[in-house]
Amino acid sequence: MIDKTILHCSATKEGQHFTVEDIDRWHRARGFAKIGYHFVVYLDGSVHKGRDISEIGAHCLGQNTNSIGICYIGGLDQNGKPKDTRTPEQKAAIIKLVDELKKRYPTMTIHGHNEFAAKACPCFDVQEEF
């Protein structure tokens, strides 16, 4: 039963474009069966499917069985330091996607990866925004 959505960043530098295929390759190199996220939001705000929503994700240790993972491309400044690099299009797309998921899973809560792991990811305050 899905009871939460966890937001992530790809931990890539601001303005650099990456795709679902890139993340899938990175995750497979780490031993995953496939991309761990259910959705990836590109710089232009387009939303792309990763792992099917019916499949358990591989995006947050200890939380995968009951959560949906959303990743936006970015999260680091030009020096590789954590930064909220979301474009206006990404911000709007994430809000829309979360709203759609909340209709499907009305009791779902929204979290940042950093709430479950000692990481900066997703590099913005999810609780403040949602």
Point out the residues that are catalytic. 8, 37, 113, 119, 121
The DSSP H or E segment spanning 31 is none
7, 110 contact by CB (below 8 A): yes
Question: Structure tokens of 103?
Answer: 């209709």
The DSSP H or E segment spanning 96 is helix 88-104
109-112 and 4-9: which strand pairing?
parallel
Whether the upstream peptide bond of residue 82 has omega within 30° of 0, thus cis, is: no
